[in-house]
Amino acid sequence: MSLDITQVVTLLREHDLLTAVTTSEHDQKFSHVTYNSKTVQPDTLFFCKGNFKAAYLADAKRAGATAYVSETRYNEGEGMTAILVSDIQKAMSILGAAFYDYPQNDLFVIAFTGTKGKTTSSYFTYGIERQHTHDRVALFSTIDRIVGNAPEDRFKSHLTTPESLDLFHDMRHAVDNGMTHLVMEVSSQAYKKNRVYGLRYNVGIFLNITPDHIGENEHPTFADYLHCKEQLLVNSDKCIINAETDHLADIYYAAKTTTQPENIYLYAREGAKVQLPLDLDVTFKNTNETLHQSDFKVSAQSDKGKALSIDGSYELHIAGDFNESNAVSSIMASAIAGASYEDAKTALIGVHVPGRMEMVTSKNHGTIYIDYAHNYASLKALLTFLEAQTDAGRVIVVVGSTGNKGVSRRAGFGKALSEKANIAILTTDDPAFEDPKKIAQEIDAHIDHDRVQVKFVMDRATAIKTAIEMSTKDDIVVLAGKGEDAYQKINGVDTPYPTDVTIAKQVVEEL
C-alpha cells in the first residue's frame, strides 16, 4: 500500500479540501498512514485530528513521519511537508480509501443504521451471508470486528463505526483474506465525524429512529441526529426502510434524493400503521412466540418484493418481537446480495447475538434476562415483550445510565421504569467522568414512586445480587444496558468488569 504526494494533492483538490501545501520534494512517497504518533514508522503520512496536541506532531516527526495533513499549521512540523485542508476528517477518509486502494470496490457492502437493532440485524445478516458465501463475509459491529476466518482475524471493537483509516485498513485486510461481502453498522457519529465520507454501500438499511445520542459530545439536536442517520440512505445503491419507523416521510425522501423508488424497499409488520401512503414491498407476521423462540412468516406484497424470493416461514432462537422486524431487514438485504430463502431460513435458526436477550434461569428465584437495552425505546420494547410473554410476578430492573453522553436516556429510563417495572435498582453503567450516584438520582427524578419501588446500589455486581436474591420464582429480573460489556468506562479508563452474564450465573450458583 502506498500513496505519493502528487496523488494526495490531486485527490484533495478534486474534493475541494486542499487549502495549502508546502513541499520541495515532488516525488515524496508514503508507505504508512496514521493519526496516532505512537504508531508512526518511517515515511508516514500523519493526520492531526480531534483533540490534537502539537507535541504529538513532534513525536510523529521524531518517529519518521515526513508529512502531515492538518487544518492548522504547526511549528513542530518544521521540515515536514505540510498539507493543509479545510476538513481533516473528510481528507482522512478520502486519502485512507486511496491508500488502501479502495477495498470497498471488492466487497458487497451491506450497512445498517437505526437507533436500535443495528448490532442484532448485523449479526443476523452476517449469519445468512456466511451461509450464502461459504464464510467469505466480514463483520464490523459494535461488539466484534471480523475480517477473516482465522482466530486472529476477530477482535473487539472500540467504536461502532471505526475511524476512516481503520475502516479502510480493515476492509483491505478482509479483501486480502478472501472476503467478498461486508456487513457493517454505521452510527450517526460516523457521519457527524465524517468517518465514512465518500463511502458507498450496495445496500443501506434504515431500521428506526427515536431520540438518543443528543448531548454535549454527540448531536446538538434531534434534527442533526436524523440528518446524520439519513446520510446512509443517500449513499446507498439500494435502500431498505422499516416503514414502521417514526419520521418515515423524512427518511423516505432522503433515500429518494439519490435512489429511484424501484430501488427502495419498504417492510412492516402485517397490519401496522404506516405514516405515508406508500405501498409496502414485504410484510411479516408472527406465527408463534415464546420466551425462547419466534416463528414468523414473510410475504412479498409488490413485484419488487416478490423478486427477492423470500416468502415463507422462519424461526429465530432469540426472543423479542422487535427481533422479527430486525430479521426481516436482514433477510431482504441478504436476498439483494444473492442469498436464497434456504440460506436465510437455515442461518437464522442458529444466530446468537452476544449480550442481547441472554437468559439465566434459577430454581427458586426469578428468570434473569441480560439485555443491551439502554434507552427509553429499547427498555420499553423489552419490558413490554417480557410482560406479554409471562405471567410475571414482579418486574425487577437493574439499570444505570452512561456518563457524559446520552443524557436524555436518564429521563427515558425513568419513564420506561414507571410504565413497566415494579422495582428499580439503580446502579452504575459507564459513568465516564460523572458521579454514578448523581446519574442514578437523575433517573430517579423521572420515576413515578407510587408505582415503582427504587433502591440505589452503586456497585453493579452487588446490585445484580440484590435483584436476584429479592426475586421470587415468578418474578423477572432484567439486567439492562451492558449486555456482554466486559468493562466499565470510569474516568477515561476501561476498567475490567466480569460482565452481567458472568455475575448473574455466579449469583445463581451461590444461591
Ligand X SMILES: CC(=O)N[C@H]1[C@@H](OP(=O)(O)OP(=O)(O)OC[C@H]2O[C@@H](n3ccc(=O)[nH]c3=O)[C@H](O)[C@@H]2O)O[C@H](CO)[C@@H](O)[C@@H]1O[C@H](C)C(=O)N[C@@H](C)C(=O)N[C@H](CCC(=O)O)C(=O)O
Asked if 430 touches ligand X (CB under 6 A), the answer is no
Residue with grid cell 420494547, as numbered in its chain: 381
Reported as type and span, the H/E element at residue 313 is: strand 312-316
382 binding partner (options ligand ATP, ligand X, none; Cβ < 5 to 8 Å by kind): ligand ATP
Q: Say whether 415 counts as a known binding-site residue.
A: no
Residue 35 binds which entry of ligand ATP, ligand X, none, with Cβ cut-offs from 5 to 8 Å by kind?
ligand X
β-partners of residue 267 are 242, 282
Residue 117 in marked binding region:
yes
Looking at 339-388, which runs of residues are DSSP E strands?
Answer: 358-360, 367-371
Evaluate whether 170 touches 139 at the Cβ level (below 8 Å). no
116 assigned binding-site residue: yes
> What is the residue whose three cell numbers read 439503580?
426
- Residue 329 binding ligand ATP, by CB under 6 A: no
In the complex, minimum distance from the CB of residue 55 to ligand X, in angstroms, rounded to a whole number: 8
Query: According to the binding rule CB under 6 A, does residue 50 interact with ligand X?
Result: yes
| Strand duo 487-490 + 137-140: pairing | unpaired
Residue 210 contact, options ligand ATP, ligand X, none, Cβ 5-8 Å cut-off depending on partner type: none
Q: Which of 8, 15, 33, 37 binds ligand X (CB under 6 A)?
A: 37
HEC string of 274-291?
Answer: CCCCCCCCEEEEEEEECC
CB of 228 to ligand X, least distance (A): 9
Among ligand ATP, ligand X, none, partner that 51 touches (CB below 5 to 8 angstroms by kind): ligand X
Cell of 143: 461488539
For ligand ATP, the binding residue among 5, 40, 139, 373 (CB under 6 A) is: 373
| Number of residues near ligand X (by CB under 6 A) | 22
Which one among 119, 188, 194, 488 touches ligand ATP, defined by CB under 6 A? Answer: 119
Q: Which does 479 bind (CB under 5 to 8 A by kind): ligand ATP, ligand X, none?
A: none
The DSSP letter of residue 491 is T
* Cell numbers given for 8: 494526495
Compute CA 428 distance to the chain's CA centroid, rounded to the nearest angstrom: 22
Q: Which stretch binds ligand ATP (CB under 6 A): 18-26, 90-98, 367-375, 496-504?
A: 367-375
Binds ligand X by CB under 6 A, chosen from 104, 189, 194, 488: 189
Does residue 61 belong to the site contacting ligand X (CB under 6 A)?
no
Q: Does 443 bind ligand ATP (CB under 6 A)?
A: no
Torsion sign across C-alpha atoms 485, 489, 494, 499? negative
Whichever of 159 and 272 has its CB closer to ligand X, that residue is 159
Torsion of CA 402, 404, 408, 413, to 10 degrees: 20
93 makes contact with ligand X (CB under 6 A) = no
C-alpha cell at 7: 496523488
| CA gap 269, 208 in Å, rounded | 14
Could you give the CA distance from residue 274 to residue 215 in angstroms, rounded to a whole number? 30
Distance CA(207)–CA(255), nearest Å, equals: 13
Is 187 annotated for ligand binding?
yes
Determine which residue in the list 8, 12, 18, 56 makes contact with ligand X, applying CB under 6 A: 56
Contact call for residue 471 and ligand ATP (CB under 6 A): no
**Is 289 within 8 Å of 269 (Cβ atoms)?**
no
111 contact partners, CB below 8 Å, separation of at least 6: 183, 184, 185, 186, 201, 203, 204, 205, 232, 236
* Residue 350 CB neighbours (<10 A): 12
Of the candidate spans 131-139, 155-163, 454-462, 477-485, the one that interacts with ligand X by CB under 6 A turns out to be 155-163
User: Measured from the CB of residue 155, what is the shortest distance to ligand ATP in angstroms?
Assistant: 17
Query: Does 346 count as an annotated binding residue?
Result: no
Q: Which of 164, 231, 245, 326 binds ligand ATP (CB under 6 A)?
A: 326
Q: How many CA atoms lie within 13 A of 47 on its CB side?
A: 22
Task: Confirm or deny that 118 is annotated as ligand binding.
Answer: yes
User: Which positions make up the binding site for ATP?
Assistant: 114-120
User: Which positions make up the binding site?
Assistant: 37, 114-120, 160-161, 187, 195
**Site residues, ligand X (CB under 6 A):** 35-38, 49-52, 56, 159-161, 163, 187-190, 193, 213, 217-218, 405
**Site residues, ligand ATP (CB under 6 A):** 114, 116-120, 142, 160, 207-208, 322, 325-326, 356, 371-374, 377-378, 381-382
